[in-house]
Structures are given as structure tokens and as C-alpha cells.
Amino acid sequence: QGPPVAQGTSTGTTIVGCLYVDGIVIGADTRGAEGNIVADMNCKKIHYIPENILCCGAGTAARTELTTTLISSNRALHDNCTSSPQAARRVATGPHLFTVHPHCSIDKLPYVTMNTGSLAAMAVLEFAFSS
């Protein structure tokens, strides 16, 4: 029979990223909240700049959408004006995972969680993640 299984708890919005040898796995919920009220049950939190660069936003849906659209548009404009598409692989030496905090500090990490559900998600990652 075994020990009782703990019931799931809603912890708010969460974004998780994990680095592995060949890439990165990123996951996010889809709830968009305004205070304690869920305003959008299908909020997009993972945004593509080009196909191989992602930006995720937790608690900043409108700003993240605007910023990634602006970066993507400027990148496309640069590609059209210079006739030489910028390839992320030219500058990248492999998969990288960064987090930018609200006070603008940046961390490069093997795994990261953000927003209100981050403590619960980090507990799971710290227990189960191996490099």
C-alpha cells in the first residue's frame, strides 16, 4: 500500500528551465494573474526570439511580449538590411541558461525556477537534478 501520496498544491505561476548535454528543457504554466485573480487561463510565457533563442517571463506577461516582439523585429530588420542572417550558433558554444532577476542581476545556472511557485519547483530540482 505504501505511504500516502501528498495532494498537489497550487503555488501560483512558475517557469522552470533545466540544462542538459544537448540542450535545454523549459516549462511554464499558462495562468496569467492580476493580483490574486487568474485573468487569463492561456497566457503565453515562453517566447521565441529566433527559433533557437527563448525568453520566458513570469509576472511580466505584457512587458515580456512587447520586449521579445521588439527584439525579434529588430533582428529580422537587421537580417533584411545586411543580407546576412545572424545565427545564434555563431556566437554560442552550446546551450546556455540564464535568469534575469527584477533588480537586473543575471545568473548562468544549470537549472532555474522563477516566480511564486519557484520555491516548490526548486525543491524538486535540488532533490532530483544531476549534472
Per residue in 28-48, pLDDT (tens digit) is: 888 777 767 777 778 888 888
Q: Is 96 within the bounds of a domain?
A: yes
Q: Is 10 within the bounds of a domain?
A: no
Q: Cell numbers 512558475 label which residue? A: 14
Q: Which amino acid is at 107?
A: D
- What residues does 48 pair with on adjacent strands? 54
What pLDDT does 111 receive?
92
Q: Is 101 within the bounds of a domain?
A: yes
Q: Is 34 within the bounds of a domain?
A: yes
Q: Is 40 within the bounds of a domain?
A: yes
What pLDDT does 108 receive?
93
What pLDDT does 51 receive?
73
Task: Give the chain's domain count.
Answer: 1
Q: Which residue has the higher pLDDT, 111 or 79?
A: 111
Q: Is the per-residue pLDDT at 10 higher than 70?
A: no
Band (pLDDT 50/70/90 cuts) for residue 26 is: very high
Of 11, 13, 69, 99, the catalytic one is 13
Structural domain of residue 21, as residue ranges? 15-126
Show the cell assigned to 13. Answer: 505561476
Q: Domain holding 42: CATH number?
A: 3.60.20.10
What pLDDT does 128 receive?
85
Q: Is the per-residue pLDDT at 57 higher than 80?
A: yes
What pLDDT does 14 receive?
84
93 is catalytic: no
Q: Which of 41, 80, 90 is nearest to 61 (CA)?
A: 41
What pLDDT does 2 receive?
67
Helix (H) or strand (E) holding 126: helix 118-128
Average pLDDT over all residues of the chain:
80
**Residue 4 CA, distance from chain mean position:** 33
Work out the number of other CB atoms within 10 angstroms of the CB of residue 61: 19
Does the pTM of the predicted model rise above 0.75?
A: no
3-state class of 35 per DSSP? coil
